[in-house]
Structure 1
Amino acid sequence: MSKRLKIGIIGSGGIAKAHVAAYRKLPFVDIVAVADVIPGKARQFVDSEQLTEAAAYDSHLELLAQPIDGVSICTPNVSHHRTTVDALRAGKQVLLEKPMSVTFEEALEMTQAARETGNMLTIGFQPRYDPNMKLLQEIVQSGRLGKVYYAETGGGRRRGMPGGTFISKKLAGAGAMADIGCYSLDMALNAMGYPRPLTVSAFTSNHFGTNPKYHGEASKFEVEDFGTAMVRFENDLVLNFKISWAMHMDSLGATMFLGTDAGLKITSAGSGPWSGVWDGSIGSMTMFHDEYGGHTQTAIPLIEHRLNLFDEKVRDFAEAVQGGRPAPIPGEQILIQQAIIDGVLRSAEARREVAIELP
């Protein structure tokens, strides 16, 4: 009989409730501890979620001192780094909510801690569990497109700017780039096998977030609400990346992969002012190619499913911990994404192209 897992949750905000709901569906998991830096908040969470077997702590270090197998880290971005490194060095397996960190240097230390300790660091990108995202990766990596030399990704909400910790540079590190841009980057980079970036030339702005007409916390808005970048990779591949929390437009366009033998165009699922980003499923997938001397396009049939992608993310982590498997979405991959976001912000501030240096 497989052993039961003891899981702790660090951070007791809204996303922690989703983790609790997902873990409760796994018969081999017990949630035994919750921690939050705000005194009494973990106890309130334990009581409200009726976690009768869970202890409550006001410090993540107290939680990490307990005999538990793994933790879900659900804290604000600014504390992802310290909490993750502490958890890994305490011998715990870690499921960390996105984005990975505030800075590239933090992400690098987190990745090094996972490597040095041999413990798992997996990052919570649930769209990867969509069967159609897996189909996208299969098509791009199958060679059907030939050599992929250009990709374009990103998303834009007509209106969809968060507030609170999301708009503080100190707490979030970045705005739309980190919040929803990370989903777009992961979709494109994962499909292409996470190529190694070399340079980035970028522009960012926050015309909407700093305008009281569009945002109720305009005076506190410190991050970008729009960004665009051209990223150059090894093997003569470039990526046009663009993201927006708010804009006077219905869409920033489809994601696409241009290859020497065929092209692939993907649109996102969902509708409404908060849609248009890659945090969910795929709406359509079309291949453009030549057959018998003529231009042809083929609609790729999408896979119908009823999976709860968030639940799949948590289940995969728990099963990996139980089975001793590697991290489902390893921090070493997402480190590349963090390097790109870091490069975007540096380039936008310097108003020139900058190099991306990976160890």
Structure 2
Amino acid sequence: MSRIIRIGIIGSGGIAGGHLRAYQNMENVEIVGAADIVPGRARQFLDAAGLTEAQAFQDHRRLLELELDGVSICTPNVSHYQTTLDALRAGKHVLLEKPMSVTLDEAIEMTQASQDTGNMLTIGFQPRYDPNMKLIRQVIQEGKLGKVYYVEVGGGRRRGMPGGTFIRKELAGAGAMADIGCYSLDFALQALGSPKPLTVSAVTSNYFGTNPAYHPEASRFDVEDFGAAFIRLEGGITLQFKISWAMHMDTLGASMFLGTDAGLKVTPAGQGPWSGVWDGQVGSMTLYHDLLGQHTQTPLPRIEHNLNVFEEKVKDFVRALSDGSAAPIPASEILYNQAIIDGILRSSAAGKEVDIELPNLG
């Protein structure tokens, strides 16, 4: 019988419920406690799940004093940095919800802390567990497209603006970039094998979120609801990126990978005003290539599945804790994602292209 993995959960909002349910579906996991800065909220969170014996704290550092194998960090974006550092330095392995951090400097320090302490820091990008996402990466990594030189990625919701902590810069750090843009970037970067970003030229805006006709919290809305960027990656790859929480359009188009031997078009799944971004499943995949001198297009068979990809990422974290393996989605990979988001916001503010400077870690 495998040993019992002892888990703590920091933050008890909506996303924390997904973590808790995933852990409860595993026989070898015990949720030891939870923490939330709102008085009484952690206790309510645990009791509602029938975990009356688990300990509740208002200060996450008290939770970190317990004997824990790992923690899920499900707090607002701005607290990811300090909470993660506290957990790693307390000797705990960490599953951190996306986005990794608010700034690139924070992400660098978090990655370095994981390496220095030897404690795992894995970031919660569950779309990677969709079998179709894995197929896309396989097609590209096996060289079916030849040399990939141009990628276009991103998505847009006709209406899909959240509220609460998501729209306040003091808590979220960023808006659509941090919420759904990071998924699109991870889709592209991971499929390409994580090439290093070099420069970014970008624009952002928030015409919809700040308009009372479109958002009930317009007076508090101070993050971006749209962004577009031109990104240079190492290896001579150009990445065109776009994301939107709201727009007067049905779609921002499919994603595409252009290679010297073939091209791949990918559409997101889902219908309705909140669909159209890469936090969901893959819709269709089509390979464009030449066959016997003729233009040809070949649909790639979509893999039907009933996987709960959110639960899969939590399971993978527990598996790594159980067998001592490496982080399933290591911080060192997501560092590039955070570097691009940081560059997009800096470029938009400066009104010009900016360089991305990354240290050599580890």
TM superposition score category, shorter chain reference: over 0.9
- Aligned equivalent of 2:315: 315
Q: Secondary structure at the match of 1:27?
A: coil
- TM, length-normalised to structure 2: 0.98
Q: Shift of residue 79 of structure 1?
A: 0.6
- Aligned equivalent of 1:151: 151
The separation in 2 between residues aligned to 1:316 and 1:343, in whole angstroms, is 30
Q: Shift of residue 102 of structure 1?
A: 1.0
Could you list the structure 1 runs, at least 4 aligned residues long, displaced by more than 2 angstroms after superposition.
none
- Whether the aligned pair in 2 keeps the contact of 1:31 and 1:53 (CA below 8 Å) is no
- Whether the aligned pair in 2 keeps the contact of 1:150 and 1:239 (CA below 8 Å) is yes
- Aligned equivalent of 2:214: 214
Q: Describe how 1:184-333 pairs up with structure 2 within 5 A.
A: 184-333=184-333
- What's the C-alpha RMSD, in Å, of the aligned pairs? 0.7
Corresponding letter in the other structure for 2:138: E
The separation in 2 between residues aligned to 1:351 and 1:73, in whole angstroms, is 34
The separation in 1 between residues aligned to 2:92 and 2:200, in whole angstroms, is 35
Corresponding letter in the other structure for 1:46: L
Q: Secondary structure at the match of 1:87?
A: helix
Q: Secondary structure at the match of 1:151?
A: strand
- Aligned equivalent of 1:102: 102
The separation in 1 between residues aligned to 2:53 and 2:240, in whole angstroms, is 49
The separation in 2 between residues aligned to 1:195 and 1:336, in whole angstroms, is 8
- Aligned equivalent of 1:82: 82
- Aligned equivalent of 1:178: 178
Corresponding letter in the other structure for 2:72: S
The separation in 2 between residues aligned to 1:263 and 1:157, in whole angstroms, is 25
Q: Secondary structure at the match of 2:137?
A: helix
Q: Secondary structure at the match of 1:108?
A: helix
Corresponding letter in the other structure for 2:333: Q
Identity, in percent, stands at 69
The separation in 2 between residues aligned to 1:53 and 1:118, in whole angstroms, is 31
1:130-188 Cα offsets, whole Å, 9 max, x none, are: 00000000001110100000000001000001111111112111110110000000001
Q: Secondary structure at the match of 1:127?
A: helix
Q: Shift of residue 192 of structure 1?
A: 0.1
1:229-277 Cα offsets, whole Å, 9 max, x none, are: 0000111111000000000000000010000000000000110000000
Q: Shift of residue 2 of structure 1?
A: 2.2
Corresponding letter in the other structure for 1:22: A
Corresponding letter in the other structure for 1:270: G
- TM, length-normalised to structure 1: 0.99
Q: Shift of residue 48 of structure 1?
A: 1.3
Q: Shift of residue 53 of structure 1?
A: 2.8
Q: Shift of residue 50 of structure 1?
A: 1.1
Q: Secondary structure at the match of 2:333?
A: helix
Structure 2: 5+ residue stretches without partners: none
Corresponding letter in the other structure for 1:157: R
- Aligned equivalent of 2:51: 51
Q: Describe how 1:63-74 pairs up with structure 2 within 5 A.
A: 63-74=63-74
1:37 aligns with 2:37: yes
Q: Secondary structure at the match of 2:277?
A: coil
Q: Secondary structure at the match of 1:180?
A: helix
Q: Shift of residue 345 of structure 1?
A: 0.4
The separation in 2 between residues aligned to 1:14 and 1:236, in whole angstroms, is 41
The separation in 1 between residues aligned to 2:32 and 2:315, in whole angstroms, is 17
The separation in 1 between residues aligned to 2:86 and 2:56, in whole angstroms, is 18
- Whether the aligned pair in 2 keeps the contact of 1:175 and 1:225 (CA below 8 Å) is yes
Corresponding letter in the other structure for 1:200: V
